[in-house]
Structure 1
Amino acid sequence: MNRPITLYMDETGNRHPDKKSDKSRDGRDWFGFGGVLVKGEHNDEARGLVAAFLEKWNLGENKPAHITDMMAERQKFSWLERVDQTTREEFWADWRKVLCQAPVMGIGCVVNRPGYVARGYWEKHTDPWLLCRSAFDITVERAVKIAKLEERKLHIVFEQDPGINETITGYFENLKKNGLAFDASNSSKYAPLTQEDFAQTLGRIQHKPKSHLLLQLADSYIYAMSRRAFEKKFWLYRHLRDSKKIADFALANDCLPHMGVKYYCFD
């Protein structure tokens, strides 16, 4: 196979269907898992864009660009609340430029948590991790399909968390060994891959800290794709859309039903 392609993954929202909705997410209660695909030959360029942004705004390794903190102007970004509007606009223009110029493609799976429960999935499958696994499997399968188009190996890097590292790695190993567990008749329209496809295309999986440069891109991308499901005019998503940085706009139309961003359990 040619040079590899890597899927940098992050989560947004609550991964457990049995947890009560956060009041701050009233009307837009999602779980999203995904991020950005980066070809091996584009890694340095993408990293350089993020690094330059962090350097300009004096954000070191302990101040990663975390989109919800940035937007809320809290924690490491509370200083944004104190600067003038011109400076704030310059900050956001710079980050938007990084996201829209980086040689990456946004991909992921966004689950409507209330919709998941309403469809009876929680009653039928009471494993609280199944929602998370479904989002992971769907995203990775679509990334594998994109990798296969260019005959590339697909590696995965996800944001580490001691409580979930082994679980996510287990999802990955299960795909390589057993393939998808979705009902074949229900998923046939999405041209599901075989176990052999996963075994041949998937390479390695690693977990890295939040400060990893390309995971900072993944964080903003999966948030934008998730929020778009409930707020179609969300400004950041529209910029990514117009720059053709989301799989839905970067791929050929015939690829979209089974390679674009998956919105799961929405009406």
Structure 2
Amino acid sequence: MTRPITLYMDETGNRHPDKKSDASREGRDWFGFGGVLIKGEDNDVARGLVTAFLEKWKLGESKPAHITDMMAERQNFAWLERVTQEKRDSFWSDWRRVLCQAPVIGLGCIVDRPGYVARGYLEKHPDRWLLCRSAFDITVERAVKIAKLEGRKLHIVFEQDPGINDTITGYFKNLKANGLGFDVSNSSKYAPLTTTDFNETLGRIQHKPKSHPLLQIADSYIYAMSRKAYDSKFALYRHLRDSKRIADFALADEHLPHMGVKYYCFDPKTKKPG
């Protein structure tokens, strides 16, 4: 396998199940880990779309597109509050165009934090980092399955943070050394991969700054996929869905149970939080 495919990963929400939820997030308390898969030959196209957007709106490398800041109109995007609605609409139309035209597939694992605690996982597994590792492992395994379908080597790039860079890299090394740590009987329906599968398909892992063009795209994707679980009318997700940029709509139906976006600790029947 020589042709590369890369999973660009970012986080959204709080990774620790024992941390009290922010009051402003009541009713949508998630942790999401994921982003976008992109084939090596498509990198330049995606990068070009982001670069053109940043240049048009005079943002530059020091002002990367960060979805929560954009929506809140704060920090580098505080100026959005002062412009006309027409200009604001134009800004968002341009960014949606970047996300929908980029040749990527949105993939990730979104965990409902209250649901995680309610199921007793925190008591059974007091390691407060396990929620984060679970989301990473699930997302990477699904990316590996997609890479295997296409005979590609999978590389991982995640947004750097000095406090967790070694931790995330450790998750990656653990997958290659030990495979998944989930209960075999519970996970068998998802056709879990073996350690051999991970070693044959996984390549390298790197961390990059949030200004990296593909990580800017990943940031919006993982937020949209997470928000969708709590707000089915979230417009950005609908645009990505209609453009078939989310794994759940980009892949054949037969692959969705074990390669689509994973919503973890949600009600299995209603798919709602809790």
Q: Please tell me the TM-score bracket, short chain as reference.
A: over 0.9
**SS of match in other structure, 1:6:** strand
1:200 aligns with 2:200: yes
Distance in 2 (CA, whole Å) between partners of 1:144 and 1:256 is: 14
Alignment of 1:108-127 (within 5 A): 108-127=108-127
Which residue does the alignment assign to 2:181? 181
Match of 2:132 in 1: 132
Q: Per-residue deviation at 1:60?
A: 1.1
The offset of 1:62, in angstroms, is 1.0
Q: Secondary structure at the match of 1:188?
A: helix
Q: Write the distance in 1 (CA, Å) between the matches of 2:22 and 2:97.
A: 31
Alignment correspondent of 1:162: 162
Is the partner of 1:162 in helix, strand or coil? coil
Amino acid at match of 1:227: R
Aligned-pair identity (%) = 83
User: 1:2, CA displacement in angstroms?
Assistant: 3.7
Counterpart of 2:226 in structure 1 is 226
Question: How far apart in 2 are the matches of 1:182 and 1:234?
Answer: 32
Give a deviation string over 1:201-231, Cα, whole Å, max 9, x none. 0000000001001000000000000000111
Q: CA deviation at 1:236?
A: 0.3
- AA matched with 1:77: F
Poorly superposed stretches of 4+, deviation over 4 Å: none
Q: Distance in 2 between matches of 1:81 and 1:62?
A: 20
* Corresponding residue number in structure 2 for 1:103: 103
* Aligned residue in 1 for 2:23: 23
> Following superposition of structure 1 onto structure 2, how do residues 85-100 of structure 1 map, counting pairs within 5 Å?
85-100=85-100
1:116-160 alpha-carbon deviations (Å, 9 max, x no partner): 000000011010100000000000000000000011000000000
Match status 1:253 vs 2:253: yes
Distance 1:18 1:47 in 2: 38
Give the structure 2 partner of residue 38 of structure 1: 38
Cα displacement (A) at 1:114: 0.1
Tell me the distance in 2 between the aligned counterparts of 1:163 and 1:11. Answer: 14
Looking at structure 2, the residues matched to 220 and 178 of structure 1 have their Cα atoms a distance apart, in angstroms, of: 31
Residue of structure 2 equivalent to 1:11: 11
TM-score in terms of structure 1 length: 1.00
C-alpha separation between the residues in 1 aligned to 2:59 and 2:23? Answer: 30
Structure 2 unaligned blocks of 5 or more: 268-274
Q: Structure 1 CA distance, aligned partners of 2:125 and 2:248?
A: 30
Q: Is the 8 A contact 1:2 1:150 kept in 2?
A: no
How does the TM-score come out when normalised to structure 2? 0.97
Cα distance in 1 for partners of 2:209, 2:2 equals 28
1:36–1:107 contact (8 Å) kept in structure 2: yes
Aligned partner of 1:152 in structure 2 is 152
Q: CA deviation at 1:3?
A: 1.1
CA deviations 1:155-210 (Å, max 9, x no partner) are 00000000000000000001011110100100000000000000000000000001
Aligned length: 267
